[in-house]
Structure 1
Amino acid sequence: MKTFALWFASFFVPNHTLTANPDVRARYGVLEGWVSIVGNTLLFAVKLAIGLAVGSAALMADAIHTLSDSATSAVVIVGFKMSRKPSDSEHPFGHGRIEPVATLIIAILLFVAGFELLKHSITATLHPTVSKAGVVAIVIVTGTALAKELMARFSFALGDLIDSATLKADALHHRSDAFSTLLVVVALGASHLGYTQVDGIMGIGVSLVIFASAWGIAREAVNPLIGEAPSQVFLDEIEGACRSVTDVLGVHDIVVHNYGENRIVSLHIEVSHTLSALAIHEIAEDVEESVGRITQGMVVVHMDPINRDHPHYDTVLTEVQKVVAQDERVLTFHDLRIVGASLDRGTILFNITLNNNDRPTDHREVLRETRDKIQARFPGLDLLIKITPMFSYNP
């Protein structure tokens, strides 16, 4: 289907192979929306006509479900067009997050449609009517289910091509409609055999399918709006880009902000304290350029001069490593610095990263225990230990 989708898009989307281009990406979204609207409108007319003719509550409910697909596809079109609006004084980060907002609207519309269908189907179950569906009508309705599955696969293919959660959400909407139509086919067949209540029961089943689809779509839409974690692969690429720059000793505190097509990345780089301010500035610019090629966004670099030539650095490093390794709540540490020339007087500074899979609720307890263990090893030194926040990632 992806090959067909790419071929079909070639007739409507200029430069259709440049799927990373924001304008091309938006055109793909608009194309999917219009194809869905046209297809859904035709299928709605067919289902409604047969539903009225045979008196099937489940089929008429399914027809409304199909019509709601057209409404959500219209939201897809508006969402993609608005997401391409440039930055302005009120929205300096652009309008890229309108796309997940559009996805959330799709989910809300689905919830509303599912609730209305549920009420209608309960009434049909309590007060059943005899459906007059014949074999021809059942075959036609089955054909509409196959048509919706093809539309779902087409939308999934376009969604994969441009990596769009919105198009995949619309595809799930199509697929839920196809599944609900198959339930209707069962209801029509049962009613044809004299089991009149099956029609309303299957209508309830259709509404439950819609609720399930709406919940899944809403969950996918909310994540980028709240601020979801970047993938480990993406973080590894950032780390690799940083370490590819000469004189970079380490990287930590990677923070990623996504605003649709606009992405902002900030990070800390460790370098030798012996380098000049000019050399450190040049390293920062090299890191920004290297990481920027991967992220395609703005990169902000904070430089941490580290004195690994301190006469007691290796001794302190070894002891800190032992303490961290013994505590499962602590994942790693970074930015180790020693102020003062001796171990009798001075300060040890470093940050610890907690294990997010088993993150303790009382951070003060972790800090206290870590501080006590280090203090026991270096009683003459002061300690300044900080916990890295969850949104800041460390290799």
Structure 2
Amino acid sequence: MIAIWISLISNIVLTLLKTGVGLAFGSSVLIADGIHNAGDIIATVAALTSSMVSKKPADDDHPYGHGKAEVVASAFVAVILALAAIWIGYHSLLTLMEPAVSESSLPLIAAVISLLWKLALYVYTVRIGRLEKSKSVLATAYDHLADVYASLAAVLGIGLALAGEHLGWSWTAYGDPIAGIIVSLLVLKLAVEMGKESIDILMERTISPERLARYEKAVFALEPIKRMDRIRAREHGHYIIVDIRVGIPSHYTIQQGHDISREIKRCIIECDEDVIEVMVHLNPWNEGE
């Protein structure tokens, strides 16, 4: 939660810095980067809200918890990034068709500050997101990574244009809008990857075969388990839900079946701390099957 608040405040400050300097000095890539940051404010607010919702306990209306709220926020951030990429690309193309403008060192300084700031935020938030297994915090981290790309391109574009002015290289005059186009492609790629991951989780795509095999091995280590009829698992935001059907001797009592179910849940949760719910169905098994 603290990581998202820090990200929100940083995005507000950087939006004002980059758009202000970009408008004052006519830097298209800095203006585009500032607009991208404005979109980040909306995305960060969504991440903050979803993080609060996802931590709510299960209730009658949401018996499996609220974990997917973070996935919805991640998908929303992906849409924001895609729209920002399209806007940056469009604006840069328009600038490329206009006469080149003289660059100033102040936009370069602003771009360098943004680059270092966003790089530090990315390292911090991705570490917290992985530690807490929070999709919303990770989405915020990847949003910062997109800003790192944007700021790096701005530094290179503005720096190249400034160097060209001093060295007499006319071809560098359009370094600013060209950098903006490169940024738009990088941000769009990141948005597509984030969107795909979010859609996979929302559509309840199964987890990796390696993880399922680990669960199956742990269950078969229990002596009463004679047959694996089915095992499925899906991500539900920052946790995993497992659905398993196994065969046990048909003469076992209900009490024995109940105890075995509890053992199955225990062993799966112990082998993967991301699992919070295991739904067990017991089928009868007879000698000779």
Based on CA coordinates, which of the two structures has the bigger radius of gyration?
1
Which residue number corresponds to residue 214 of structure 1? 191
Answer yes or no: is the 8 Å Cα contact 1:280–1:303 preserved in 2: no
User: Which of 12, 15, 20 lines up with 1:49 in the alignment?
Assistant: 20
Answer yes or no: is the 8 Å Cα contact 1:242–1:290 preserved in 2: no
Deviation at 1:94, TM superposition (A): 2.8
Which residue number corresponds to residue 63 of structure 1? 34
Deviations 1:29-61 (A, max 9, x none): x22211111112222222223212321111111
Which residue number corresponds to residue 276 of structure 2? 296
1 or 2 for the larger relative contact order (CA 8 Å, sep ≥6)?
2
Answer yes or no: is the 8 Å Cα contact 2:244–2:278 preserved in 1: no
Deviations 1:246-278 (A, max 9, x none): 3322323112244336754332323344x3444
Whether 1:150 and 2:126 are equivalent positions in the alignment is: no
Answer yes or no: is the 8 Å Cα contact 2:27–2:176 preserved in 1: yes
Call closer, same or farther: CA 1:259–1:188 in 2, change over 3 Å.
Answer: closer
Which residue number corresponds to residue 93 of structure 2? 122
Q: How does 1:221-370 map to 2 (within 5 A)?
A: 221-260=198-237, 263-273=240-250, 275-278=251-254, 281-282=257-258, 284-291=260-267, 293-294=269-270, 295-308=275-288, 337=289
Answer yes or no: is the 8 Å Cα contact 2:129–2:138 preserved in 1: yes
Call closer, same or farther: CA 1:40–1:286 in 2, change over 3 Å.
Answer: closer
Q: Distance in 1 between matches of 2:252 and 2:114?
A: 71
For 1:217, give the aligned amino acid.
M
Call closer, same or farther: CA 1:204–1:251 in 2, change over 3 Å.
Answer: same
Q: Distance in 2 between matches of 1:165 and 1:286?
A: 29
Deviation at 1:96, TM superposition (A): 1.5
User: Which of 148, 160, 168 lines up with 2:130 in the alignment?
Assistant: 160
Q: Distance in 1 between matches of 2:233 and 2:15?
A: 43
Answer yes or no: is the 8 Å Cα contact 1:93–1:262 preserved in 2: no
Which residue number corresponds to residue 144 of structure 2? 174
Answer yes or no: is the 8 Å Cα contact 1:287–1:301 preserved in 2: no
Call closer, same or farther: CA 1:38–1:303 in 2, change over 3 Å.
Answer: same
Which residue number corresponds to residue 4 of structure 2? 33
State the percentage of identical aligned residues. 24
Call closer, same or farther: CA 1:307–1:120 in 2, change over 3 Å.
Answer: same
Call closer, same or farther: CA 1:264–1:302 in 2, change over 3 Å.
Answer: farther
TM-score by length of 1: 0.64
Q: CA RMSD in A?
A: 2.4
Deviation at 1:137, TM superposition (A): 4.2
Q: Distance in 1 between matches of 2:194 and 2:129?
A: 14
Unaligned runs of 5+ in 1: 1-29, 309-336, 338-395
Deviations 1:328-378 (A, max 9, x none): xxxxxxxxx4xxxxxxxxxxxxxxxxxxxxxxxxxxxxxxxxxxxxxxxxx
TM-score by length of 2: 0.85
Answer yes or no: is the 8 Å Cα contact 2:11–2:40 preserved in 1: yes
Deviation at 1:218, TM superposition (A): 0.7
Q: Distance in 2 between matches of 1:189 and 1:257?
A: 47
Call closer, same or farther: CA 1:278–1:197 in 2, change over 3 Å.
Answer: closer
Deviation at 1:138, TM superposition (A): 2.0
Q: Distance in 2 between matches of 1:293 and 1:91?
A: 21
User: Which of 174, 183, 186 lines up with 1:197 in the alignment?
Assistant: 174
Determine helix, strand or coil for the equivalent of 2:66.
coil
Q: Distance in 2 between matches of 1:197 and 1:262?
A: 48
Call closer, same or farther: CA 1:259–1:118 in 2, change over 3 Å.
Answer: same
For 2:88, give the aligned amino acid.
L
Q: Distance in 1 between matches of 2:156 and 2:236?
A: 45
The worse-fitting range, judged by mean Cα deviation, of 201-210 and 250-259 is 250-259
Unaligned runs of 5+ in 2: none
- Number of matched pairs: 278
The worse-fitting range, judged by mean Cα deviation, of 95-104 and 256-265 is 256-265
